[in-house]
Amino acid sequence: MLWPMVFLALAFCGIAVLGVLAVRVGLEVRRFSRAVGDGSERITKAAENLERAALPLAARASRGAGSGETQDPYET
């Protein structure tokens, strides 16, 4: 009768450990998803800033290309 009680206690401890680990994994997944969301928002904001900064350069390049100038990047 002693061995079945030992096995039952070990099984309960194993399930308790698995439960604790599952809770820890769930909390880390929540923290990771929050970090991914924050990073995504920062990337979106940086892309918008880059697009806003590139608009005047694109307009200037399109005006220069229409005037018949050659724009050779290797030209000194």
Task: Express each pLDDT in 16-55 by its tens digit.
Answer: 999 999 999 999 999 999 999 999 999 999 999 999 999 9
Record the pTM: 0.60
Q: Are 45 and 52 in contact (CB under 8 A)?
A: no
For residue 62, give the amino acid letter.
S
- For residue 37, the enclosing domain spans 24-54
**34: in domain:** yes
Torsional sign, CA 26, 31, 35, 38? positive
Q: Is residue 62 part of a domain?
A: no
Model pLDDT, residue 44: 98
Q: Which two tokens stand for residue 36?
A: 């991914």
**Based on the structure, what is the number of domains in the chain?**
1
Q: Is residue 73 part of a domain?
A: no
